[in-house]
Amino acid sequence: MNKNASFSIFGHAVFLLILDVFNKFKDKNGSFRESLIGDVQGMLGLYEAAHLRVQEEDILDEALAFTTTHLKSLVKHLDHPLAVQVTQALHRPIRKGLERLEARPYISIYQDEASHSKALLKLAKLDFNLLQSLYKKELSHITRWWKDLDFSSRLPFVRDRVVETYLWIVVACFESQYSYARRIQTKLLVLITVIDDIYDAYGTLEELELFTEAIERNEMKNSVRAYFNEAKWLHGEYVPTVEEYMGVALVSCDVPMFTIISFVGMGFIATKEAFDWVLNGPKIVRACSTIIRLMDDMASHKFEQERGHIASSVECYMKQYSVSNQHAYHELNKQVEKAWKDINQEFLRPTAIPMPLLTRVLNFARTG
């Protein structure tokens, strides 16, 4: 049995233990004990653990509802730095947070705790600053590469998204040993955004059809076919059903391609089997696609409709079911939470895929 399968089995055993512990917090009526409300630190820990919930485990859903309600009511009465910690947790729980983005504010929280370790605090600040210095060097290299390509004069309609793309890569693959990987991955993704902009903002339908036929001869054919379908919807002012939209949009958001790119430069753990695993469409990658697509749609649909863009999942849902945008948000958020449960479930299954590679997919979902 390999290490990853052993780790997953161990993780499943720990998960079952967590469920048993959660049951002990309930009273004889099956409700969470009110005495928990007096222990804010304990309730915060319960809240964070509840985000490991999976399908058909109601106790974690109950724990999340219980702790969320009480933490929201208590936060305004808490002292610093606990109030800040609870506020940040309610906004972005650890399970859905990006490690490097969460590190900086937590250093400040930890620094204000009376019982903090000075040596540990100094080490955390040193680690953070060393990595920041490395990131600046990498971004400088990538920016020079982008300027040398001179897209601003050759293809003026292309958005300059170098910094945005680098940030997306660095939060998913932040460790110092993957510096080369981050540079390669960012350049590849930037070039993909150039192709996306050609479909979104430049070509006529006839030009895009010829461009699609040319690119379909290589391995990007699934992506560009999805881009072309979206371009036809835009030019034809067509609003698809939610199901029709998601069938195309989950391809055009390119998560499998991004996942494969994120394995580049990862060393010996990125085997052929790992790449084949992504191409076979595992549930964790599909769930990540759902989170990224729906979260991006909800965040950007107003802006994109103003600049002329295909109908997003929000508009598709509103038209199909004749509901308000707030109702659409509510229903789409439920699909996002279901996808998060699928990701958590997949982390508990025995797998031959190394944990650092699985974590790349998790971190992409966290960017949603």
Supply the DSSP symbol for 353: S
The pLDDT value given to residue 271: 86
Q: Which domain, by its residues, includes 87?
A: 12-96
Determine how many CB atoms are found less than 10 A away from the CB of residue 166: 23
Same domain, 142 and 83: no
| 116 is a domain residue | no
Which of 50, 81, 96 finishes a domain? Answer: 96
Residue pLDDT, tens place only, 215-273: 555 456 788 788 888 888 988 989 999 999 999 999 988 898 888 888 877 888 888 89
**Which amino acid makes up residue 298?**
M
* SS3 state at 247: helix
Same domain, 76 and 140: no
Which of 96, 113, 142 finishes a domain? Answer: 96
| 3 is a domain residue | no
| 54 is a domain residue | yes
pTM greater than the 0.95 cutoff: no
Counting DSSP H helices and E strands in the chain, the numbers are 18, 0
pLDDT-wise least confident of 6-15, 73-82, 142-151, 246-255: 6-15
| 119 is a domain residue | no
Q: What is the CATH number of the domain that holds 359?
A: 1.10.600.10
Domain count, the chain: 2
Dihedral of alpha carbons 236, 306, 290, 158, sign: positive
Which of 41, 76, 96 finishes a domain? Answer: 96
Contact 146, 163 (CB under 8 A): no
Q: What is the CATH number of the domain that holds 31?
A: 1.50.10.130
Same domain, 69 and 186: no
The pLDDT value given to residue 38: 87
Same domain, 18 and 153: no
Same domain, 152 and 87: no
Same domain, 159 and 305: yes
Same domain, 88 and 223: no
- How many whole angstroms separate alpha carbon 116 and alpha carbon 106? 12
Q: Which residue has the tokens 């508009």?
A: 315
- How many whole angstroms separate alpha carbon 283 and alpha carbon 343? 8
Q: What does each C-alpha distance from 90 to 71, 81, 104, 181, 264 come to in angstroms?
A: 8, 15, 17, 33, 34
The pLDDT value given to residue 5: 40
Per-residue confidence at 201, pLDDT binned at 50, 70, 90?
Answer: low
Length of the chain equals 368
Same domain, 178 and 316: yes
The pLDDT value given to residue 215: 54
Same domain, 349 and 254: yes
Residue pLDDT, tens place only, 154-183: 777 777 889 999 998 998 889 999 999 899
Beta-bridge partners for 26: 32
Same domain, 57 and 190: no
